[in-house]
Amino acid sequence: MNVPIRNHDIAELKRLDLAHHLPAQADHKVIAELGGSRIITRADGCYIHDGEGHTILDGMAGLWCVNVGYGREELAKAAYEQMLELPYYNTFFKTATPPTVRLAAKIAEKMGGDLSHVFFNSSGSEANDTVFRLARHYWKLKGEPQRTVFISRWNAYHGSTVAGVSLGGMKHMHVQGDLPIPGVEHVRQPYGFGEGFGEDPDAFAEACVQAIEDKILEVGPEKVAAFIGEPVQGAGGVIIPPEGYWPKVEALCRKYGILLVCDEVICGFGRLGHWFGHQGYGIKPDMIAMAKGLSSGYLPISAVGVADHIVAELKEKGGDFIHGFTYSGHPTCAAVAIANIEIMEREGLIERTRTDTGPYLAKALARLNDHPLVGETRSRGLLGAVEIVREKGTNLRFLDKEGEAGPIVRDICIRNGLMVRGIRDTIVCCPPLIITHAQIDELVDIIGRSLTEAEPILRALKPGTPS
């Protein structure tokens, strides 16, 4: 469908942005210095367009979410038709709507095993709030009310609400809002390049799992409610754990009777080449959080998948689970999510990621391994990372400080027509699952060119120079 290109008064929009809008997760001083946010006006397929006429390959699928790409008329139609029939109704009054129920069944089919129920929310953060309250509620119903502690990893991302930040392991986020709240403990992350450099991967996996067991024993196994982790940490810098890690973590949870929660907000819906990331690691979580790719970001919706043994407890013991949101199971969002999943099925995007584009991205990224600034490239499915180092063959960073090089290279990539993120000194990518081989080549080539362009700037960095 041809959408007429609207003209926007970009200067006016930037002025209004500065005058009235506080963008998310931003340094508002920097945005003011830039004269306002970059205004993105439209998008199609894998490309976004800004108001100043730039076309940018979207190496981030929006914010890790636009899995089916932009401009899907089918999703617009699903929303339009649902809005005319029933735009909204809630699930508080012993009520539900057709798309809500159908989507729940569809997600259950994709989760498989004994994950056959879902609880809806609007965002990934809310999904993790639901996990937080449901896990504690479950243990009370089970007659083990002392099981309240969550174990998570440093550098995990579980959202931006109070529970989300607390469950997350981002220290710079904890500082704002005096978090975490009590009852969340953090352990080391399985970040081989950063924290297990040169170690044998099996031994490193073992050490990371041992850290979890040590924490369980320190807290007291009878007090631990759940362990939560992203199958692959996304916002933490695309941290792909060593192969043996997840089965060992699962075994540990079973050993101590702890719930295993996978935060699939990025890894779900094909990102790692499976409907859910944990499926590729052969583990069976008790709860999973999902959002982002569930609707490819077209409308806000999230869900928590809940295992049968937890649902059985709710259904047998009874009593309200007094939790939920005005927009839990929102019919229009659910209708769009169903249509989104149908696109993924019809176009075989999950399998294509696993067997075709995922391996192609891995090979393309490997071309960067010869670059003097590249310490490592890694990927799983269509989630990729490039580590920037000062000295080939090491994991040493520029100025011996994390986060000097990343933002510089990221800004050059964007200038060169590729949207990526620089997380500390890791350039990460997460393109739409519809990306072609040629577009993957374009993505990797721009990263390579940008690294080369950045090299003299990085080599000239002096302590104290503003980046």
Ligand X SMILES: *Cc1c(COP(=O)(O)O)cnc(C)c1O
Residue 264 Cβ, how far from ligand X at the closest point, in Å?
8
β-pair type (374-380, 383-388) = antiparallel
Task: List 226's β-bridge partners, or say none.
Answer: 150, 259
Beta strands in 223-334 (DSSP E): 224-229, 259-263, 287-290, 302-307
State yes or no: residue 340 binds ligand X (CB under 6 A). no
For helices 405-415 and 437-459, give the axis angle rounded to 10 degrees.
Answer: 130
User: Quick one: 129 or 387, whose CB is closer to ligand X?
Assistant: 129
Q: Whole-number minimum distance, CB 125 to ligand X, in Å?
A: 3
Of 276, 425, 428, which is closest to residue 353 (Cα–Cα)?
A: 276
Shortest approach of ligand X to residue 299 CB, angstroms? 12
User: Count residues contacting ligand X (CB under 6 A)?
Assistant: 16
Q: Are 226 and 150 in contact (CB under 8 A)?
A: yes
Q: Which of residues 56-75 bind ligand X (CB under 6 A)?
A: 64
Q: Is 50 exposed, middle or buried (0-12, 13-18, 19+ CB in 10 A)?
A: middle
From candidates 208, 291, 385, 405, binder to ligand X by CB under 6 A: 291
Closer residue to ligand X in complex, CB, 43/304 = 304
CB-neighbour burial class of residue 221 (10 A; exposed 0-12, middle 13-18, buried 19+): middle
Closest separation between CB of residue 63 and ligand X, Å?
7
CB atoms inside a 10 Å sphere around CB 258: 23
Tell me the closest approach of the beta carbon of residue 245 to ligand X, in angstroms: 17
Residue pair 360/437 in contact by the 8 Å Cβ criterion: yes
Query: In this structure, what token pair is assigned to residue 446?
Result: 């721009």
State which residue, 211 or 291, has the beta carbon closest to ligand X: 291
- In the bound state with ligand X, the residue whose beta carbon lies nearer, of 159 and 241, is 159
Q: Of residues 263, 376, 404, 425, which one binds ligand X by CB under 6 A?
A: 263
**What is the nearest approach in angstroms of ligand X to the Cβ of residue 246?**
15
Of residues 59, 229, 234, 297, which one binds ligand X by CB under 6 A?
234
Which of residues 259 and 291 has its CB atom nearest to ligand X in the complex? Answer: 291
Question: Minimum distance between the CB of residue 132 and ligand X, rounded to whole angstroms?
Answer: 12
Nearer to ligand X, 31 or 261 (CB): 261
Of 266 and 364, which has the nearer Cβ to ligand X? 266
Only one of the segments 92-100, 260-268, 327-335, 392-400 lies at the binding site for ligand X (rule: CB under 6 A); that segment is 260-268
Q: Which part of the chain contacts ligand X (CB under 6 A), choosing from 228-236, 403-411, 413-421, 433-441? A: 228-236
Task: Report, in Å, the least distance between residue 130 CB and ligand X.
Answer: 12
**What is the nearest approach in angstroms of ligand X to the Cβ of residue 265?**
3
Question: Does residue number 429 form part of the binding site for ligand X (CB under 6 A)?
Answer: no
Of 110, 442, 49, 86, which Cα lies nearest the Cα of 277? 110
Q: Does 235 help bind ligand X (rule: CB under 6 A)? A: yes
Distance in angstroms (rounded) separating the CA atoms of residues 182 and 297: 32
Query: Does residue 193 contact residue 158 with C-beta atoms inside 8 Å?
Result: no
- Please give the torsion angle defined by the CA atoms of residues 458, 460, 461 and 464, in that order, rounded to the nearest 10 degrees: -160
Nearest approach in angstroms of CB 141 to ligand X is 26
Site for ligand X in 118-177 (CB under 6 A): 123-125, 128, 157-160
- How far, in Å, CA of 256 to CA of 228, rounded? 15
Distances (CA, A) of 5 to 2, 53, 54, 236, 414: 9, 12, 14, 36, 23
By C-alpha distance, which of 173, 189, 275, 196 is closest to 232?
Answer: 189
Binding site for ligand X (CB under 6 A): 64, 123-125, 128, 157-160, 230, 234-235, 263, 265-266, 291
